[in-house]
Amino acid sequence: MKTVYFDNAATTQIREEVIASMVEVMNGSYGNPSSSHSFGRSSKSLVESCRKSIASFFNVSASEIIFTSGGTEADNLVLRSAVRDLGVKHIVTSKIEHHAVLHTLDQLEKEHPLKISFVKVDDRGTIDYEQLESLLKGEQKILVSLMHVNNEIGNLIDIERVANLCKANNVLFHTDAVQAIGHYQLDLQKVSVDFLAASAHKFHGPKGVGFAFIRKNTGLKPLIFGGEQERGLRAGTESVHNIVGIASALKIAYNNLEKETTYIKGLKQYFIENLSKAIPQVKFNGLSANMEKSTYTLVNICLPVDPKKTTLLLFQLDLKGIACSKGSACQSGSSQGSHVLAEILNDEDLEKPSIRFSFSIYNTKEEIDYVVEVLKDLLET
């Protein structure tokens, strides 16, 4: 059976070069980075070299990069400490954020006297920037948390505009950039983001490692206590091979960014054009068909299918060897539908199947031809 992997927004295949770098570390640099002997110093040197390498891509200080287990932990670290330690009393976000943000805020609201405001989004998932600006007025300390690239519909926010609004109003700005890092360049000296979350497995690195960018002198405090690792902000022995893996994956991603972006953009455009010809009634959710206002790595489609057949469609695609997603992989065990689509689609379209297809350098136009043919056949039966 032919197999096609179009679920790269959920996770990506690890590059062979990254695997090789990690294996080398696991074989030869197994010392604890906190140990004072030569084995420990060797591991510590690797960790700090990786930290400097990652920092260089964002034009920040190495001390502002804190390694975590991934984007979810980075989001939790920032949001929880902002409320607990920085005196934030009001958080402005949107209802189409990742659950790593929304569920954390739900819990914080139970634990602290916290006001949460949701900026409006239209039926294409675009935030209301004028309303956002109005929400930043007030005497309470405010933090804005808006994701750079939406993981389900691919919408890009104008991150520089949001950063400038926050800076002008003396408001802290956190962005979940998990779907953006490794795919978009971001100079954090020019874009005044205070906090950022990233995860290696979204750009062909290993699972279980990510980082938080924490701008110096913000006063953030740890979420996990124990040792003094990670500048005292994240206790626990560093996963050296994973840290080498994320640094290696990021370096390759940015060194090849122009070439790989062009290739993946071509795949997305090819998918949109051919699917639209094969199934003229197909709709593209959010701005995912807009090559300028959405990420080049994914599309989210709504298919003209009888609602009774909706639940079987992903199963049928899986039987054909096609891996895709109805939304975030993090909620695949949930019986509820996508909270993002529930916010932007009308009731009629919510009853129809919506599917996210996400692309990488390992995909081909031949695979797209196969997927389009299968979708057309399934809709005709």
pLDDT (tens digit, 9 = 90+) per residue, 222-254?
999 999 999 999 999 999 999 999 999 999 999
pLDDT of residue 337: 84
Q: What's the confidence (pLDDT) of residue 307?
A: 78
pLDDT band at 333 (very low <50, low <70, confident <90, very high): very low
Mean pLDDT on 18-29: 97
- Across the range 180-184, mean pLDDT stands at 98
pLDDT digits (tens, 9 = 90+) for 54-75: 999 999 999 999 999 999 999 9
| 41 DSSP assignment | H
Delimiting residues of CATH 3.40.640.10 domain(s) in the chain: 16-255
- Asked whether the CA dihedral 197, 203, 209, 215 is positive or negative, the reply is negative
Q: What is the pLDDT of residue 314?
A: 85
Question: CA distances (Å), 252 to each of 181, 182, 204, in order?
Answer: 12, 9, 9
Average of pLDDT values for 171-197? 98
- pLDDT tens digits, one per residue of 84-112: 999 999 999 999 999 999 999 999 999 99
pLDDT at 336 over 90: no
Q: What is the DSSP string of 217-263?
A: TS----SS-SS-TGGGTS-S---HHHHHHHHHHHHHHHHTHHHHHHH
75 close to 176: Cβ distance less than 8 angstroms: yes
Catalytic residue among 50, 166, 302, 330: 330
* Dihedral sign, Cα of residue 237, residue 242, residue 244, residue 247: negative
* Model confidence at 332: pLDDT above 70: no
Q: What residue ranges of the chain are covered by domains with CATH 3.90.1150.10?
A: 4-12+257-380
| Topology annotation, domain 16-255 | Aspartate Aminotransferase; domain 2 (3.40.640)
Q: d(Cα 313, Cα 290) in Å, to the nearest integer? A: 25
Answer yes or no: are the C-beta atoms of 29 and 43 closer than 8 Å. Answer: yes
Would you state the pLDDT for residue 1?
74
Question: Quick one: pLDDT at residue 263?
Answer: 98
C-beta of residue 205 within 8 angstroms of C-beta of residue 18: yes
Q: Dihedral of CA 63/253/288/161: which sign?
A: positive
Give the whole-angstrom CA distance, residue 314 versus residue 23. Answer: 36
Give me the pLDDT at residue 306, please.
Answer: 83
Q: What does the pLDDT look like over 105-153, one tens digit per residue?
A: 999 999 999 999 999 999 999 999 999 999 999 888 999 999 999 999 9
Q: Is the pLDDT of residue 380 over 80?
A: yes
Contact 253, 198 (CB under 8 A): no
Average pLDDT of the chain to the nearest whole number = 95
Q: Residues near 122 by Cβ (< 8 Å), separated by ≥ 6? A: 128, 344
Class at the top of the CATH hierarchy for domain 4-12+257-380: alpha beta
324 catalytic per annotation: no
Q: What percent of the chain has pLDDT over 90?
A: 92
Tokens of residue 34, six digits: 């906190």
Predicted pLDDT at 331: 47
